[in-house]
Homo-oligomer: A and B are copies of this chain.
């Protein structure tokens, strides 16, 4: 065991310290060593994970295969600790071989960019390391979550208010919505289970996120009881088809109880027609949830909020703050969940009333203890991150970021239409720009299954080459009967028109020989 480790535990031997009589004689030295380590690490983070990671002249990733990376890194955990310099090198390596999601050429996921306020807030949360079960444990963050929820409910248009919770992920938020809908349908299920229930059916569109199916499996409904509603060629749910599926379920003796509409689908960025869907749900008395994880950000934009027209009518909304609303949002695990229905539904649906945590004889108003609304026990105070960003930049800057991202997406779509060898899959409605790159060898072939089959192999190879070169990262996928195409997502305010031009040029450079 080396000096560094000994310093950290008080410059005494294990044998001596195990005797609690000794106390912590080296506490002051420990703290100095810890501080020095933290300071050095903070400098590495600033240089490598902030400055270098957002520099367009640097690589967006430094690809190594699993086998290569295992060789490069000393991952094994041992009996004795490593030196401070070795640990700092581990930190440098972890950053070096990780993907730079804040890089202006990173377009691989539905998050991107670097938001300094959000990053700082996340550091504070990690340093404070509390959990948001009770006001006692998280006074500041409890109030902040409340303010943020109320502000966002106003944006949704829920005049009567509502309730909500930051969850670790949009999938979890969608799952909460399904559970609340079930609770509304029959509160007794919480106690007796769904054994005696008629077959309950959930409805979502073919373009909806897979988390609805995961929720169906987890909550005991089964994936077969998710009825998939066809979407039109823009990727939007067809309301008449929803009506048909509801009738189908009823004719089978099943009970439809939950409809998921999507505001901003994952691949195409399509918005389901909420108003028309809400009419149908009202008629049949179904819970209407909107998965606005991706498209919710448009609510801050006067120009684009029409995409979610009717959202004030729905029962619940899942909204991922790290995605569109922040463009450059830093944190990827928290999402927001609202409902406008019963004031205490979240609490009633999920409470277990643990007496060691939610004592009712506290000296403050225990309605501020929000932990029992959650299916989790520990819960991170993630609201603080988004609150600090919003506080720092203001609503108008958030609006500006949404407007700018969508303007850039339009620009990219125009460029794709202009350039030879590029073809849009669909005219973009949001920030997703889906397109094929057709290498010269395929350009003069007639449209045929043969051509599609060949085209299907292009994107994976271009992706492999961009990763190995480290020049950019863009996602691709097949979709329905469509062969593999690229999905560009324009989010970060740090992305320029030049970056988008680069993407198209680079795809051609990497794929022109295919």
Contacts and interface: CB of A to CB of B under 8 A. Distances in A.
A169 B108 contact: no
Interface residues of A, number: 188
Interface stretch (A233-241, A417-425, A471-479): A471-479
Nearest to A364: B65
A45 B388 CA distance: 15
A505 interface: no
A191 to B, nearest CB: 5
Interface in A133-168: 135-144, 147-148, 151, 168
A51 interface: yes
Interface in A312-370: 330-333, 349-350, 352-357, 359, 361-365, 368
Query: How many copies of the chain does the oligomer comprise?
Result: 2
Interface stretch (A209-217, A273-281, A435-443): A209-217
A75 interface: yes
B387 A8 contact: no
Given A21-B497, A147-B76, A221-B193, A93 B140 contact: yes
Contact of A220 (B45, B101, B219, B379): B219
B404 A98 contact: no
B19 A407 contact: yes
Interface in A353-397: 353-357, 359, 361-365, 368, 375-380, 384, 387-388, 390-397
A460 B124 contact: no
A190 interface: yes
A77 B395 contact: yes
Contact of A375 (B101, B109, B171, B384): B171
Contacts of A179: 218
Given A8-B393, A356-B487, 11 more contacts: A5-B392, A78-B394, A79-B395, A97-B140, A126-B330, A129-B332, A172-B376, A210-B352, A218-B218, A332-B380, A356-B479
A122 B114 contact: no
Most B CB atoms within 10 A — which of A100, A267, A352? A352
A252 to B, nearest CB: 13
A144 to B, nearest CB: 6
A232 interface: no
Contacts of A285: none
A80 to B, nearest CB: 4
Contacts of A514: none
B98 A141 contact: yes
Contacts of A122: 126
Contacts of A210: 352-354, 377
Contact of A124 (B65, B91, B479): B91
Contacts of A193: 194, 199-200, 216, 220-222, 224-225
Contacts of A375: 171-172, 175, 214, 218
Contacts of A221: 193, 220
Nearest to A188: B222
Nearest to A54: B31
A204 interface: no
A123 B128 CA distance: 12
Contacts of A94: 124, 128, 140-141, 384
A371 to B, nearest CB: 11
A221 to B, nearest CB: 5
A360 to B, nearest CB: 10
Given A18-B407, A189-B220, A195-B199, A126 B128 contact: no
A94 to B, nearest CB: 5
Interface string A5-46: 100111000100111111110010011001101110110011
B129 A87 contact: no
Contact of A477 (B116, B355, B410): B355
A361 B392 CA distance: 43
A107 interface: no
Nearest to A25: B496
A332 B69 contact: no
A1 interface: yes
A223 to B, nearest CB: 5
A5 B397 contact: yes
A446 interface: no
B99 A130 contact: yes
B20 A404 contact: yes
Contact of A90 (B4, B138, B388): B388
Contacts of A175: 375
Interface string A473-500: 0011111000010010000011111101
Interface string A278-300: 00000000000000000000000
Most B CB atoms within 10 A — which of A193, A331, A363, A410? A193
A38 B46 contact: yes
A331 B349 CA distance: 27
